[in-house]
């Protein structure tokens, strides 16, 4: 299997981490997020770690500020991708990125990246921040509807991934 890089996205609570962790049972998987460094910065500033509406807005605002200031989230993801390519044991890199413009920058630099939207039923609700509220505004390569229970999800997602996404 060739190395696979997948930008994974979806609204909060749709199962993004769950499907990434499922593949860890079958492949050597690394999971990173463009918000990780921002969470460290927010924690230093007093963020309590809660991903409620107020916390999500804080993280989004800080991320957007750093995107404009020095492109920190993008640079961090480029480092992660380079490290992934240097590690001959890892097979799949999942990158959590919310904003369409940030997804576009990574795909422009690394055309082999595949994009995956995880949905659960109909998308509804706004989070009150530009990161979460614009998740649907990208033309993803693949969409997976996480519409079954956990007991069926593993079989469904592994089949989806192996039949549609692996080169």
Tens-digit pLDDT profile for residues 55-114? 999 999 999 999 999 999 999 999 999 999 999 999 999 999 999 999 999 999 999 999
What are 105's two structure tokens?
A: 């920058």
Mean predicted lDDT score pLDDT of the chain = 94
b/e 141-152 (16+ beta carbons within 10 angstroms → b): eeebebeeeeee
What dihedral do alpha carbons 14, 99, 84, 43 form, nearest 10°?
A: -80
% of residues, the chain, pLDDT over 90: 83
Which of these, 83, 16, 12, 73, lies nearest to 41 by C-alpha position? 73
Distance between CA atoms of residues 15 and 57, nearest Å: 20
What does the DSSP assignment read for 102-126?
HHHHHHHH-TT-EEEEEE-SS----
Residue 167: the pLDDT is 63
Distance between CA atoms of residues 73 and 78, nearest Å: 9
Whole-prediction pTM: 0.93
Q: Is the pLDDT of residue 125 over 70?
A: no
Residue with tokens 């463009």: 34
Residue 149: the pLDDT is 87
Q: Which fold has domain 4-165?
A: Rossmann fold (3.40.50)
């Amino acid at each position: 299997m060739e190395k696979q890089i997948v930008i994974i996205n979806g609204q909060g609570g749709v199962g993004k981490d769950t499907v990434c962790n499922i593949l860890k049972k079958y492949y050597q998987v690394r999971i990173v997020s463009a918000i990780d460094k921002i969470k460290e910065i927010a924690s230093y500033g007093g963020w309590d770690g809660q991903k409620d509406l107020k916390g999500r807005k804080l993280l989004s605002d800080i991320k957007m500020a750093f995107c404009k200031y020095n492109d920190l989230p993008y640079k961090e993801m480029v480092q992660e991708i380079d490290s992934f390519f240097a590690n001959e044991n890892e097979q799949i890199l999942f990158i959590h990125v919310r904003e369409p413009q940030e997804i576009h920058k990574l795909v422009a630099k690394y055309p082999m990246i595949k994009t995956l939207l995880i949905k659960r039923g109909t998308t509804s609700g706004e989070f009150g921040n530009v990161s979460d509220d614009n998740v649907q505004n990208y033309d993803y390569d693949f969409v997976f509807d996480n519409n079954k229970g956990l007991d069926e999800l593993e079989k469904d997602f592994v089949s989806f991934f192996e039949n549609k996404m692996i080169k």
